[in-house]
Amino acid sequence: MIQKKYFTTPIYYVNDVPHIGHAYCTLATDTLARYWRNKIGPDNVKFLTGTDENSQKTVDAAAKHGKEIYAYLDEMAENWKTTWEQCGLQFDDFIRTTEGRHHDKVAEMFQRIYDKGDIYKGSYKGLYCTGCETFYKESELVDGNCPDHKKPPMELEEENYFFRLSKYEKPLLEYYQKNPEFLVPESRKNEILSFIQSGLEDISVSRETAEFGISLPMDEKHKVYVWFDALINYLSALPDGENNEFWKDADVTHIVGKDITRFHCVIWPAMLMSAGIKLPDQVFGHGYFTVDGTKMSKSLGNVVNPLDLSKKFGNDALRSGLLSSFTFGSDGDFSVERFHDFYDSRLAGGIGNLFNRVIVLINKFLDGNKPEIQRPRNYTGRSGSAEEFVDFQLHEGLFVNLESYQLYSAYNHLFELVDKANELMNETEVWKLVKEDEEKAKIVFGELLAYLEVIMLISCTLLPETAGKMQQMLGDEKKAGKAQILFPQVDRTVVEEKETPRSTVKFTVNPKLIEQGYQVKAALITIPKISKKQSKPFRAHATEVLGNLDIDAALNAEIIQVANKSYADAEVDGKHPAVHLLEILKKSGKLPNINNVVDAYNLASVDYQISFGVHDIEKIDGDVKLDFTTGSEDYTPLGSKEKVKVNKDEYAFMDGSQILCRMDCKQCEKTKITMQTKHILIYAQGNSAVDALYLENGLDEAIENLVEYCGGGHVERVI
Ligand code: MSP
């Protein structure tokens, strides 16, 4: 029987925007699918990707954008699909979990597992993180927070249906023993095995409170748990599900990130065992990308969009730049600078330059006549003819590496061939030799053509868009084609335009103030352009936040009482900024519209009753400290031209020459945000009524608003 291959990526949460982490996974899968299409024929390979849509997150995100849920889902799913298309990915199907074919299959599987007696009703109380859509054990939390989302999970108690995962503990262990290659790489397998060995508990697979999703066939009030639903996409995309040739007769390979291997290697196989369906053949758990050493996240504003890279550098640069960065399976880091270096050295200066030089010289000195290919003299490997050299390199470079998921090694093999060819050119100085001894030069060109041939063949899988151009340059058997620039120069300044240099600010707090309960969380953020207008999505978001706010309770919050007491004790006529805003809100039903930046943090300020200090970094003199005043500091309050004298032993935020914010109530004039401001220092100020986590969450919300609604980026935490 002809071998068949079925490759899948995870289905992506539709409310997110595609970033290079997602692109990494999808490009890797695309590369494997391409390799196998070339080897066993396109009809024998299927590559599936798609979007995960039945989650509470999508309902919240639609509301946040003031959109009807299905309109929002269609728009977002289209965005994912076109992003992948524009990045040059060739998937055979794109599944959305809101489609009828998926709903039907999920209902059928659920019923089947229920009929088997593996789903039962019970009640559940636990800690649930909506970010991960997962329950956590107390012991898995870090300082009471979800280890991934750094936010406390919510307590959830509801009647649930449970899946008897515990029943599959032994069968799973046996399966792993019989199929040692089921989960690769080895390190991930060890993690999963020890997780299973530590004992599996039954898992809740329904939500009574969910508004959106797939109803249980036996109980309309409940919705299927989003992960139980999502995993089934791999079957629902196949007509006839598990009876389709791409399941029953194929090698089924799931490529997933390390964070979701547990779902794919414990829950999914157990579900399939229960339903009596063949298990996938292999799961590959790849590693994670950080950006400049930091986890990529919307709230940090460091998300790298693959489309930006593809537009600037081209799809093959995106593909090779990501896949050749580190071993598939390990973690690694991305930086625009390094990506650009890679582009210059490996692509433009390496492959591009090699092809260009060889073809230009053959056209110029040999009238475009291609000499016969030769086994390269500087190749020290196995002996044989030029053709054998090409076949052997192709085998070593592609087959060996891609059949064992070594994408990184495959690219490096390609780059080594380029280096060898360039070395041969330079050693023989063929551009001079051709003028002195044409016959000798023809031999060198023949050797170079052997390199170009194999590089082009490997590129059909690894640099698919460039391979076509390489083929044109190589022409036909006799004549070379026209020279082309395979990888044009990319101007560094264009790419780094967004990264306008910004001074950084050091922040310190007098320990005595910390003892009294004063604390601060601060960050720097860059805003491309401040606007007077509020955007529609921001207005929708503000309406939702303010709709959930109890204004009177907020005005009486302890954090405000403590602040008021400190102003009274210091005999300062101050008003906490959140109180000022809450009073306006109470009176007029709205918050003032100053500009999109001020409005963004004001919203977080009333939501958390936190006072934010917000300053134009360029106008700050040196570092910032929160300290006691001596009484001799300079201070001109916001909106005033006159200096005001402060008392000794008040507390204030100060830079090298003046008070930036008196207590937590009044900022100064000099560093205020104007329409020209680009770089901002924002700090959340807290007192003994709140803890550090509360302050952190408040600052996070302000930053998220600035990122989401003001295009803010390059966020850097400073304290
Ligand atoms: N919807 C689930 C998957 C359901 S599959 C039945 C989900 N979606 S996700 O959008 O959050 O993540 C999808 C994939 O992207 C995961 O494999 C995840 O590991 C991967 N990545 C997300 N961020 C990543 C990096 N920074 N680096 C590499 N891969 C990353 O989970």
Q: What is the pLDDT of residues 19-49, one digit of tens each?
A: 999 999 999 999 999 999 999 999 999 999 9
User: Does residue 305 form part of some domain?
Assistant: no
**Tokens matching residue 221:** 């009030």
User: Does residue 159 form part of some domain?
Assistant: no
Cα–Cα distance for residue pair 415/175, rounded to 1 Å: 39
Average pLDDT, the chain: 92
The model's pLDDT over 496-524, given as tens digits with 9 standing for 90+, comes to: 444 455 677 888 899 998 888 898 999 99
- Using a cut of 0.85, tell me whether the model's pTM lies above it: no
The model's pLDDT over 620-637, given as tens digits with 9 standing for 90+, comes to: 988 899 999 998 999 999
Cα–Cα distance for residue pair 416/455, rounded to 1 Å: 10
User: Does residue 457 form part of some domain?
Assistant: yes
Residues 343 and 424 in one domain: yes
User: Does residue 31 form part of some domain?
Assistant: yes
Say how far residue 83 (Cα) sits from the centre of its chain: 14
Classify 370 as helix, strand or coil: coil
Which CATH number belongs to the domain containing residue 279 in this structure? 3.40.50.620
Which CATH number belongs to the domain containing residue 324 in this structure? 1.10.730.10
Query: Which residues are CB-neighbours of 239 under 8 A, at least 6 positions away?
Result: none
Looking from the CA of residue 10, the nearest atom of ligand 1 is 5
Residues 523 and 599 in one domain: yes
The model's pLDDT over 140-188, given as tens digits with 9 standing for 90+, comes to: 888 888 888 888 888 888 788 999 999 999 999 999 999 999 999 998 9
Query: Which residues are CB-neighbours of 631 under 8 A, at least 6 positions away?
Result: 645, 646, 647, 648, 649
Least confident of 191-195, 301-305, 328-332, 393-397: 301-305
Alpha carbon nearest to ligand 1 atom 12, residue: 12
Residues 664 and 556 in one domain: yes
Give the pLDDT band of residue 534 (cuts 50, 70, 90).
Answer: confident
Burial 542-552 (b: 16+ CB within 10 A, else e): beebbeebeee
Alpha carbon nearest to ligand 1 atom 24, residue: 21
User: Does residue 442 form part of some domain?
Assistant: yes
**Tokens matching residue 64:** 């946040």
Cα–Cα distance for residue pair 152/145, rounded to 1 Å: 4
Looking from the CA of residue 258, the nearest atom of ligand 1 is 19
**Separation of 706 CA from ligand 1 center, angstroms?**
25
The model's pLDDT over 119-146, given as tens digits with 9 standing for 90+, comes to: 999 887 888 888 787 888 888 888 888 8
The arrangement of strands across the sheet holding 651-654 comes to 507-509, 624-628, 651-654, 659-662, 666-667
**Average pLDDT in the 543-552 region?**
88
User: Does residue 126 form part of some domain?
Assistant: no
Cα–Cα distance for residue pair 282/29, rounded to 1 Å: 13
What is residue 143's predicted lDDT score, i.e. its pLDDT?
Answer: 86
**Average pLDDT in the 229-246 region?**
98
Indicate if the alpha-carbon torsion angle 350, 351, 356, 362 is positive or negative: positive
Residues 378 and 457 in one domain: yes
Give, for 253, the enclosing helix (H) or strand (E).
Answer: strand 250-257
Give, for 441, the enclosing helix (H) or strand (E).
Answer: helix 438-462
Q: Which domain holds residue 423?
A: 320-474
Cα–Cα distance for residue pair 469/356, rounded to 1 Å: 11
CB atoms within 10 A of CB 323: 20
Q: Give the residue among 191, 183, 193, 207 at the shortest CA–CA distance from 135.
A: 207
Torsion, Cα 248 251 255 256, to 10 degrees, reads 50
Catalytic residue positions? 19, 22, 129, 132, 146, 149, 295, 298
Residues 104 and 252 in one domain: yes
The model's pLDDT over 251-286, given as tens digits with 9 standing for 90+, comes to: 999 999 999 999 999 999 999 999 999 999 999 999
Report the DSSP pairing between strands 289-291 and 250-257: unpaired
User: Does residue 135 form part of some domain?
Assistant: no
What is residue 497's predicted lDDT score, i.e. its pLDDT?
Answer: 43
Residues 279 and 331 in one domain: no
Give the pLDDT band of residue 405 (cuts 50, 70, 90).
Answer: very high
What is residue 498's predicted lDDT score, i.e. its pLDDT?
Answer: 45
**Average pLDDT in the 378-385 region?**
82
Query: What percentage of the chain reaches a pLDDT higher than 70?
Result: 98
Residues 462 and 544 in one domain: no
Q: Which residues pair with 716 in a beta bridge?
A: 524
Find where tokens 């943090």 sit.
Answer: 601
**Average pLDDT in the 367-371 region?**
97
Residues 519 and 445 in one domain: no
**Tokens matching residue 462:** 């690894």
Backbone dihedral angles phi then psi of residue 141, each to the nearest 5 degrees: -80, 155
Residues 518 and 416 in one domain: no
Which of these three, 286, 312, 333, is where a domain ends? 286
What is residue 495's predicted lDDT score, i.e. its pLDDT?
Answer: 41
User: Does residue 687 form part of some domain?
Assistant: yes
Residue type at 355?
F
- pLDDT reading at 102 higher than 60: yes
Query: What percentage of the chain reaches a pLDDT higher than 90?
Result: 71
| Residues lining ligand 1, Cβ inside 6 A | 10-13, 16, 21-22, 24-25, 52, 230-231, 233, 256-257, 259-260, 288-289, 296
Check whether the bond before 280 is cis (ω within 30° of 0): no
Alpha carbon nearest to ligand 1 atom 25, residue: 21
Q: Give the residue among 161, 177, 261 at the shortest CA–CA distance from 214.
A: 161
Alpha carbon nearest to ligand 1 atom 15, residue: 22
Find where tokens 């551009």 sit.
Answer: 431
Looking from the CA of residue 231, the nearest atom of ligand 1 is 6
Report the DSSP pairing between strands 219-224 and 206-207: antiparallel
Give the pLDDT band of residue 300 (cuts 50, 70, 90).
Answer: confident
Residues 375 and 451 in one domain: yes
Number of domains making up the chain: 3
